[in-house]
Structure 1
Amino acid sequence: MGKRGYHHGNLRQALVDAALDLIREKGPTGFTLSEAAKQAGVTPAAVYRHFEGREDLIAEAALQGYEIFADLMQFAYDKGQPSALAAFEATGRAYLAFARKYPGHYIAMFESGISVNRTPELAAVRQRAWNVLEKAAADLGKHIPAEKRPPAAMFSAHIWAMSHGVVELFARNSPGTQSPFPPEDLLETGIGVYLRGLGLIPPDE
């Protein structure tokens, strides 16, 4: 990992970018603020003009990650319209795509121990992402008889948990957990089994 260097006038973002590099390499607790400062090409004292500590820096990385994530989820939902099924499946795939493309942000968001309620801004943008998946679940749930329909929040939580599990176990190259199937196929078939159980798609012939 080469020294990024701070030359472009935005020290705060340079520190976030440095932290994302370090998070990918060492994990959210494996680096110090001094290392982030060195990566950004500034003195450790300069960090404290923008962040109170390492957790504050990681929280900013998580916030930026959730902003990207929420936009991707919304894009996936919109792209799947007007089909409720296509929109729902697209949001599940967007989760996996985000984890692959933005691993540093993903770790900061879901593996750092930073509470989503640390700041109002972080809580709000996390809720924006959740609302997209819940909306997709609610749209699809309209096709289930009311007496058999799970709450949209539960429906979406199941898919979020399934997506997260596939990412953690099979899409992040954890030693000893390699799957004989591509993560995308695991997620697609898992969602298919779930939706068949709800009667939303027909059983395989």
Structure 2
Amino acid sequence: MRKRGYHHGNLRQALVDAALKLIEEKGPMGFTLSEAAKQAGVTPAAVYRHFAGREDLIAEAARQGYEIFADLMQYAYDSGQPSAMAAFAATGRAYLAFARKHPGHYIAMFESGISVNHSPELAAVSARARGVQEQAAADLSQHIAPEKRPPASMVSAHIWAMSHGVVELYARNSPGTRSPFPPEDLLETGIGIYLRGLGLIAPDS
């Protein structure tokens, strides 16, 4: 067997790429380190030169996913400026787009059971992603009196939960589920109803 990882001089990334493919096919707990090693073209023992175990390997896949996700969220936020509403809505759509384009990363990040505090690096990049949407929420609520203004972190958490629910139920081909509306429409209208209920956007906006 040719040692592809060693040949290219990047065994660590070859193992992450292999894990991402296996996560997408079998789930985060459905594969072994031996399978990841085989996909990467190395012996199982070689994995331990870079990762302490499967959890560390999945955590690195999650960290890389958060890097992509945070950049995408920032791009969505910046693209929506100068409208606070457009920037906020764009970050919600970015969540859905990320889940579709990077399913292996998404599963590693949100469905593997790996804590974002698994490593300082993972904690930092996940906080960066959350921070973008919290900033968008803070921008949107500036016209609300401070004593009536909901915390930006709460608004962001609610939208994050809504986005995650739409992804899980209707955007990932879950067996036996089919949305009567496109996931994008569900998310956009849901965000609109939520924000109107909080008084963050006017009824006729």
Instruction: Rate the CA distance shift 1:167–1:14 in 2: closer, same or farther, 3 A.
Output: same
2:138 paired residue number: 138
Give the letter aligned to residue 192 of structure 1.
Answer: G
Cα distance in 2, alignment partners of residues 200 and 14 from structure 1: 46
Q: How does 1:122-201 map to 2 (within 5 A)?
A: 122-201=122-201
2:105 paired residue number: 105
Residue by residue, what CA displacement relative to the aligned partner does 1:121-161 show, whole Å, maximum 9, x if unpaired? Answer: 11010000011010000000112222321111101111011
1:48 paired residue number: 48
Deviation of 1:5 after TM superposition, in Å, equals 4.9
Q: 1:144·1:198 contact (CA, 8 Å) conserved in 2?
A: no
Cα distance in 2, alignment partners of residues 53 and 40 from structure 1: 15
Q: CA RMSD in A?
A: 1.5
Cα distance in 1, alignment partners of residues 182 and 27 from structure 2: 24
What TM-score results when the alignment is normalised by the length of structure 2?
A: 0.95
Q: 1:166·1:183 contact (CA, 8 Å) conserved in 2?
A: yes
Give the letter aligned to residue 77 of structure 1.
Answer: Y
Cα distance in 2, alignment partners of residues 177 and 123 from structure 1: 33
2:76 paired residue number: 76
Cα distance in 2, alignment partners of residues 156 and 202 from structure 1: 19
Give the letter aligned to residue 166 of structure 1.
Answer: V
Q: 1:20·1:61 contact (CA, 8 Å) conserved in 2?
A: yes
Unmatched tracts of structure 1, length 5 or more: none
What TM-score results when the alignment is normalised by the length of structure 1?
A: 0.95
Give the letter aligned to residue 50 of structure 1.
Answer: H
Q: 1:5·1:39 contact (CA, 8 Å) conserved in 2?
A: no
Give the letter aligned to residue 195 of structure 2.
Answer: L
1:17 paired residue number: 17
1:57 paired residue number: 57
Cα distance in 2, alignment partners of residues 56 and 33 from structure 1: 11
Q: How many residues were matched structurally? A: 202
1:86 paired residue number: 86
Cα distance in 1, alignment partners of residues 175 and 203 from structure 2: 35
Instruction: Rate the CA distance shift 1:171–1:5 in 2: closer, same or farther, 3 A.
Output: farther
Q: 1:70·1:125 contact (CA, 8 Å) conserved in 2?
A: yes
Deviation of 1:176 after TM superposition, in Å, equals 1.4
Cα distance in 1, alignment partners of residues 94 and 27 from structure 2: 23
Give the letter aligned to residue 176 of structure 2.
Answer: G
Give the letter aligned to residue 189 of structure 2.
Answer: T
